């Protein structure tokens, strides 16, 4: 079976099961529109689906996905700012109550940054995009210089989440809502190997398990 056939069969199962079982939900979402309280910035990695790992229903979260779940700092100018536009829609139009930056283990983008190995993409869009996480790499080089590359990559995956959280505050309409207590920012890290979800704990400066027992 090729991928297209697999996807189409999956759609038929979705329509017969999930759509049919939740028809009232879809009717409500159609009539009332989406009103998610949470915006998630996740990686486009095929292994990490924010809605799947949190077992969310349609309409629960507004999701932005890109390579390495990065948020660029605010820029002023006539550039194509897809992430910034999506953030503005989620915050200023949908009025979400929280933003979660969701990173993950074994991120190819962060690994390429730490290994300085972009391959044929070294002069293209990818290298410039991953460069947003350069402050995270610098921090890791300073604090984990004597550690194996695997530990450095994991540390950079987590540090890059903090870079994105800081970059979120460069947008005035995000900073204002955070300062007024109308918007909360969270950093999460999904450990693919262990199936665990970690959350950034500002008082300790560490990521701790959110999975419970």
**CA–CA distance, 49 with 172 (Å, rounded to integer):** 29
Question: Is 201 known as a binding-site position?
Answer: no
Polymer length in residues for the chain: 213
Bridge partners for 102 per DSSP: 42, 188
**CA–CA distance, 192 with 66 (Å, rounded to integer):** 18
Question: Is 2 known as a binding-site position?
Answer: no
Please spell the DSSP secondary structure of 56-121, one letter per residue. Answer: PPTTSEEEEEEGGG--PPP--SSS--HHHHHHHIIIIIS--SEEEEEEESS-HHHHHHHHT--GGG
**CA–CA distance, 102 with 84 (Å, rounded to integer):** 17
Short-list 11, 187, 15, CA closest to 98: 187
Per-residue CA distances from 79 to 69, 149, 174 (Å): 20, 35, 20
Query: 55 CB contacts (<8 Å, ≥6 apart)?
Result: none
Question: Is 107 known as a binding-site position?
Answer: yes
Q: How many CB atoms lie within 10 A of CB 166?
A: 13
**CA–CA distance, 59 with 82 (Å, rounded to integer):** 21
Annotation: binding site for Zn(2+): 43, 45, 104, 107
Q: Write out the binding residues.
A: 43, 45, 104, 107
């Amino acid at each position: 079976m090729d991928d297209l056939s697999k996807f189409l069969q999956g759609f038929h199962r979705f329509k017969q099961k999930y759509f049919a079982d939740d028809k009232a939900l879809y009717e409500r979402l159609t009539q009332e529109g989406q009103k998610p309280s949470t915006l998630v910035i996740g990686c486009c990695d095929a292994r990490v689906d924010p809605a799947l790992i949190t077992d969310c229903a349609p309409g629960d979260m507004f999701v932005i996905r890109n390579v390495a779940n990065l948020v660029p700092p605010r820029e002023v100018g006539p550039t194509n700012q897809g992430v910034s536009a999506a953030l503005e829609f989620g915050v200023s139009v949908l009025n979400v109550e929280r933003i979660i930056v969701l990173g993950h283990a074994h991120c190819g983008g962060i690994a390429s940054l730490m290994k300085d190995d972009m391959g044929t993409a070294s002069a293209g869009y990818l290298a410039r995009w991953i460069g947003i996480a350069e402050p995270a790499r610098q921090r890791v080089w300073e604090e984990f210089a004597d550690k194996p590359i695997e530990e450095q990559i994991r540390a950079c995956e987590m540090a890059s989440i903090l870079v994105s959280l800081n970059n979120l505050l460069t947008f005035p309409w995000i900073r204002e809502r955070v300062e007024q207590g109308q918007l909360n920012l969270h950093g999460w890290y999904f450990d693919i190997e262990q199936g665990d979800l970690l959350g950034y704990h500002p008082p300790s400066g560490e990521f701790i398990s959110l999975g419970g027992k």
